[in-house]
Amino acid sequence: MRPARPIAIVLALAGALLAAGCNPSGLTDEEARIVASLSLSALPPLPADPSNRVADDPAAAALGQALFFDHGLSADGSVSCASCHQPTRRFHDGIARAVGVGEADRRTMPLEGVAWSPWQFWDGRADSLWAQALGPWENPVEHGGNRVALERRIASTYRAEYEAVFGPLPDLSGLPENAGPLGSQAERDAWAALSTEERRRVDRVFSDMGKAVAAFERRIAPVETRFDRFADAVAAGRRPEGEAALSDLEIEGLKLFVGKAACVNCHNGPRLTDDHFHNTGVPAVPGLPEDRGRAVAVARVLADPFNCLGAFSDAAPGQCGEIRFMVKEGEELERAYKTPSLRGVAGRAPYMHSGQIATLEEVVDHYARAPEAPSGHTELEPLVLTDRGRMALVAFLKTLEPAGEEAGAAVLAGRVPSGR
């Protein structure tokens, strides 16, 4: 009878391994499969952008990097793209709503891995990275500029760099100092007074500026995290140890993330986003204008002269599948916003599209409570979580921060300039 105890121990261990799918990480086979799909190692190659012929041109990226850091492209010389997308903060600003020459209604979106996303802005009102880059330059609370003034800045400061990529700049003689379809009444009147050919000439340079910035931003890639090291060990069938190990609490949170809490339904893939639009019942901000999200943005992207189907796109119509086949109407678009990547999420408080929620703990509470949406219908269902479960989810989310030396990296293929 004495061997009974060792046999019982072996049977118990075998049962535990069976329950865990024989995976040394302690995950089931299905959990391990999902976890492996979330690793940065599973990130596909950078997708081509047929609408931008210079998307992968190093000279265009160098010009775009200079424009990204140039304060002279704002109306008062006080801000650049990097003012909100700060490399030392992993291309975020850490505040509820972006501040340029004024305060915006929405929060700055992270840029790491942005080139993998087919839609830009919280509501997806731009269908390419270069079209997105154009908006802030003319937005009255971001850069507050106008197209003719922007073109003059290119001519005075970047002529050689621009012409090396795009060819000769057009002649600016005869154009007013300031003119554009947005901005002050005087700027709009001056724009309306230009001929169709003059406006087209300015728009061509304007679109080229966006394409250069996009070529730079395509180089802003996600960096490895503690979670990625764990996921790679899981994918290889190894026991995660050392720098690849997660704590028991972090693994509990991971199991909730891919299981009961269903976070992975929207935060999936190596960038931890489905790049779709969802109504999750986020409250409105008192005092801000009504914000209907994707429901309004569809018309904007269709009307945008710089979309993939527009005259300034380098793509053939057949290469513009996203805009041609996007969902154009339906209640699911009401107050729906793009799923943000969760990479680096612990360092990007506050949260949601207008900074409505201050901490990760409060975000978890929001998703567990599933409150009614201000308009439309939330996709969330109430979720019962223990206090430990809430702690575990937050602990897991903190593993998505960069690991080791990458923590302070600018994530750029080159030195970061201080601006002009």
Q: For residue range 3-34, list pLDDT tens digits in order.
A: 334 333 333 433 433 344 456 778 999 999 99
Instruction: Please tell me whether residues 262 and 131 are part of one structural domain.
Output: no
Assess if residue 9 is contained within a domain.
no
Assess if residue 370 is contained within a domain.
yes
Q: Which two tokens stand for residue 215?
A: 């070529």
Assess if residue 5 is contained within a domain.
no
Assess if residue 209 is contained within a domain.
yes
Q: State pLDDT tens for residues 179-204.
A: 999 989 999 999 999 999 999 999 99
Instruction: Please tell me whether residues 108 and 180 are part of one structural domain.
Output: yes
Look at residues 173, 190, 217 and tell me which one is the last residue of a structural domain: 217
> Which residues constitute the domain of residue 212?
58-217
Look at residues 202, 217, 232 and tell me which one is the last residue of a structural domain: 217
Assess if residue 10 is contained within a domain.
no
Instruction: Please tell me whether residues 279 and 176 are part of one structural domain.
Output: no
- Taking the C-alpha atoms of residue 35 and residue 15, their distance in angstroms, rounded to an integer, is 22
Q: Are 364 and 393 in contact (CB under 8 A)?
A: yes
Instruction: Please tell me whether residues 247 and 276 are part of one structural domain.
Output: yes
Neighbours of 400 (CB within 10 A): 22
Q: What is the CATH number of the domain that holds 390?
A: 1.10.760.10
Q: State pLDDT tens for residues 241-268.
A: 999 999 999 999 999 999 999 999 999 9
Domain count, the chain: 2
Instruction: Please tell me whether residues 146 and 247 are part of one structural domain.
Output: no
Q: What is the pLDDT of residue 404?
A: 57
Instruction: Please tell me whether residues 144 and 71 are part of one structural domain.
Output: yes
Instruction: Please tell me whether residues 234 and 121 are part of one structural domain.
Output: no
Q: Which two tokens stand for residue 353?
A: 């599209």
Contacts of residue 17, defined as CB under 8 A and 6 or more positions apart, other chains included, come to none
Instruction: Please tell me whether residues 266 and 196 are part of one structural domain.
Output: no
Instruction: Please tell me whether residues 166 and 283 are part of one structural domain.
Output: no
